[in-house]
Structure 1
Amino acid sequence: MQISFPSCRPDYCARDLVLTFPALVDHQPVQCAITAEALEDHFGARSLREEDLCDAFTEHRPDIEVAARRMLNELGGNPVLLHSGYFRFCT
């Protein structure tokens, strides 16, 4: 499975308190997301504000993409939602 991540800004979903970002799995788009809680707990986001979440995502993007790649492989290329617990127990 070939996985890559376009270098675009993540999208903020206030309703779900997540940032979404695309992956390409075998050249097909797949949505990935990381919770605001994970960004606060593990990547230093200062608050739930979109700007703070995006700053933490940008600063730690390589680590987040490694986790997303691992999950994409485990889930057979299906959409991924990275929770705080994943980083607590799996990294």
Structure 2
Amino acid sequence: MHISFPSCAPEYCGPDLALTFPARVDEQPVQCAITAEALEDHFGARSPREEDLIDAFTAHRSEIELAAQRMLNELGGKPVLLHSGYFRFCT
């Protein structure tokens, strides 16, 4: 399975308090997301405000994409949502 991440900016999803970002698995688009809680707990986001979440994501993008890649491999290329618990127990 070949996984890559386009370099576009993440998108804020207010109702879910998460950021979404695209991946490509074997050239097919797959949506990934990380919760505001994970960004606050593990990547230094100061609040669940869009600007703070994007700043934390940008500063730690490579770590977040690596976690998403691991999860995509585990789930066979299906969409992933990275929660705080994933980083607490799996990294």
CA deviations on 1:52-83 (whole Å, 9 max, x unpaired) are 00000000000000000000000000000000
In the alignment, which residue of structure 1 is the partner of 2:4? 4
Gaps of 5+ in 2: none
Identity of aligned residues (%): 82
In the alignment, which residue of structure 1 is the partner of 2:48? 48
Give the ranges of 4+ consecutive aligned residues of structure 1 lying more than 3 Å apart after TM superposition.
none
TM-score (norm 2): 1.00
> Which structure 2 residues correspond to residues 51-62 of structure 1 after superposition, within 5 A?
51-62=51-62
Amino acid at match of 2:21: F
Q: Root-mean-square deviation (CA), in Å?
A: 0.2
> When the two structures are aligned, how many residues end up with a matched partner?
91
Q: CA deviation at 1:9?
A: 0.4
Amino acid at match of 2:81: L
Write the distance in 2 (CA, Å) between the matches of 1:59 and 1:3. Answer: 21
